[in-house]
Structure 1
């Protein structure tokens, strides 16, 4: 193995190990803080990291001022831990860089309307678990991570069915992170003002091409 390949594969092995650690249960709170950081950056809301408070009062995950974030993910049925374990084994067994490279595939578009329907449907079970009263005090934030898909067109607007589903669930606000974009899908009158002010917009305010999650 050449030194270049060895260095490249070593970095991949380290990245896989770090990712699996992050995906473990003890790091749940840090993952949630990362999602909130990325969302606030995408929508252009200033914050300091010490404002993102892990809240011990279930069902609030992260408190940000008066905002009570409940964090969830929509990943299209994938199993991230299993995927990364497979990658880790491939990296560990690699002898050269060609053993770990994958063919390039073009990303396909998914519309805001389609994603909003998926988000609304994915929240049904969680809303049923917490009940309407608890949901009315929560600002749910959905991290959408669909491999090989990108958000386009960016024309916002919930279809009538999605709006009705979210209204029946009772959330104080519903927001979405779909990197590099953040969007507030729906709010009630008592939702935090920075969310109400951004409802109906698909925003990408972070000027960098990475670093959304970094503390």
Structure 2
């Protein structure tokens, strides 16, 4: 029993160490590629790892075939994720390697429409940083990572409500397993156009 407990503690610490490294500034490109791969996996698009590449000249952040993804994150207001994991690692090490479990967690439901509203607010903010001529050739990909919300079943918002923001396409990854496809113009890659209005979930096979 003692050995199993020690192994579990070490596993938890190792996971926290990997999270600290992954969410550091030095790993920005790797995080962006990870978001793109999660979108493709959830959408059931077959691809080779080598096809998902960081762009030599930004924007875009990530290229996949003809897709030009500009990757942005939506977190809980005020959340500092890298600091959060660093503090959790320090606490776990001080606690004999045992990560602190969240207590009193009461997740709230959020629908695709609710996610869409968060994304619209982000796109409105990004309009100040990307010229219209730039946005029209970019595929906006939002990674939505909320700590107290679960994505629940519900209708998707109408695609035309995203057109005013001027991106070639708008899609999102929610929580790492769900892909939401909000809008795509006629010039967007076919695999994005074909999935507009859908929510797709990655199927994880049992080991």
Q: 1:102 is paired with a residue of what secondary structure?
A: coil
State how 1:15-30 maps to structure 2 within 5 Å. Answer: 15-30=15-30
Q: Which residue of 2 aligns with 1:177?
A: 173
Aligned ranges 1:26-45 → 2 under 5 Å: 26-45=26-45
SS at match of 2:129: helix
Query: Is residue 140–residue 171 contact of structure 2 (8 Å, CA) maintained in 1?
Result: yes
Rounded Cα–Cα distance in structure 1 between residues aligned with 2:50 and 2:97: 43
Residue 2 of structure 1 and its aligned partner are, at CA, apart by 3.8
Summarize the Cα distance change of 1:10–1:170 in structure 2 as closer, same or farther, 3 Å threshold: same
TM-score, normalised on structure 2? 0.90
Report the Cα distance in structure 1 between the residues aligned to 2:206 and 2:144, rounded to whole angstroms: 16
Judged with a 3 Å threshold, the aligned counterparts in structure 2 of structure 1 residues 159 and 36 are, in CA distance, closer, same or farther, namely closer
Structure 2, unpaired ranges of 5+? none
Question: How far did residue 54 of structure 1 move?
Answer: 1.1
| Further displaced range: 41-50 or 148-157 | 148-157
Which TM-score applies when normalising by structure 1?
0.87
Q: 1:37 to 1:96 in 2, by over 3 A?
A: closer
Q: How many residue pairs are counted as aligned between the two chains?
A: 205
Q: Give the unaligned 5+ runs of structure 1.
A: none
Q: SS in structure 2 opposite 1:105? A: coil
1:208 equivalenced with 2:204 (yes/no): yes
- Asked if the contact 1:5/1:96 (under 8 Å) is kept, the reply is no
* Alpha-carbon shift at residue 28 of structure 1 (Å): 1.0
Higher relative contact order (CA 8 A, sep 6+): 1
